[in-house]
């Protein structure tokens, strides 16, 4: 009986190992941080692919705890600045990151605050870690 159970269990493991999990279970990016201040006064995206640019992130005391020095060898980063906003509460949503044969498409959507928000001027900014070294194409459906 033990032999039969073991054989069935072994077969089940082998059968399951050849099944690929759905694409949505893979994480091809991480939003490393977001903050309402210290961003650019105008909206822009900066794709960070080179080690010399990456040092800027490593020197930032807020971002650096989420990074490893060797990340730049396997990942690219996107610095997203939403520009000057009249209130707090602005954020982004990464709607999709699609890794294609020759590039990575990143769809980013700007999300306005819901309900009441602070009336102080803010300059929201974000850093996204893309787990690929392929060229990045940013698509912003709101622009």
pLDDT tens, 61-112?
A: 888 988 999 999 999 999 999 999 999 999 998 999 999 999 999 999 999 9
Q: In the predicted model, is pLDDT for residue 23 greater than 50? A: no
Q: Is residue 94 part of a domain?
A: yes
Q: How sure is the predictor about 35, in pLDDT bands with cuts at 50, 70 and 90?
A: confident
The answer to whether 105 and 97 have CB atoms below 8 angstroms apart is: yes
Q: How many domains are contained in the chain?
A: 1
Q: Is residue 91 part of a domain?
A: yes
The answer to whether 108 and 139 have CB atoms below 8 angstroms apart is: yes
Q: Is residue 15 part of a domain?
A: no
Integer Rg of the chain from CA: 20
Lowest mean pLDDT among 8-12, 33-37, 59-63, 130-134: 8-12
Q: In the predicted model, is pLDDT for residue 50 greater than 50? A: yes
Q: Is residue 8 part of a domain?
A: no
Q: Is residue 39 part of a domain?
A: yes
pLDDT for the residue numbered 83:
94
Over range 113-140, report the average pLDDT: 92
What is the side-by-side order of every strand in the sheet holding 91-99? 91-99, 104-111, 136-139
Q: In the predicted model, is pLDDT for residue 143 greater than 60? A: no
pLDDT for the residue numbered 62:
83
Q: Is residue 73 part of a domain?
A: yes
CA dihedral 101, 51, 125, 136 (to 10 degrees): -10
Q: In the predicted model, is pLDDT for residue 57 greater than 60? A: yes
Q: In the predicted model, is pLDDT for residue 138 greater than 50? A: yes
Long-range Cβ contact pairs of 68-73 (< 8 A, separation 24 or more) = 71/129, 73/133
Q: Is 104 exposed, middle or buried (0-12, 13-18, 19+ CB in 10 A)?
A: buried
Q: Is residue 133 part of a domain?
A: yes
Residue range(s) defining the domain that contains residue 115: 23-139
The answer to whether 133 and 49 have CB atoms below 8 angstroms apart is: yes
What is the phi/psi pair of residue 17, to 5°?
-70, -20
Q: Is residue 77 part of a domain?
A: yes
């Amino acid at each position: 009986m033990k032999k039969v159970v073991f054989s069935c269990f072994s077969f089940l493991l082998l059968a399951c190992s050849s099944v690929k999990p759905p694409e949505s279970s893979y994480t091809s990016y991480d939003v490393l941080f977001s903050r309402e201040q210290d961003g650019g006064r105008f909206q822009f995206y900066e794709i960070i692919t080179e080690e010399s640019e990456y040092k800027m992130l490593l020197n930032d005391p807020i971002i650096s705890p989420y990074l490893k020095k060797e990340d730049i060898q396997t990942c690219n980063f996107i610095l997203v600045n939403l520009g000057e906003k009249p209130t707090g509460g602005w954020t982004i949503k990464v709607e999709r990151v699609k890794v294609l044969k020759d590039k990575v498409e990143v769809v980013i959507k700007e999300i306005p605050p819901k309900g009441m928000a602070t009336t102080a001027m803010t300059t929201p900014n974000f850093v996204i870690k893309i787990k690929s070294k392929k060229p990045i194409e940013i698509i912003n459906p709101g622009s």
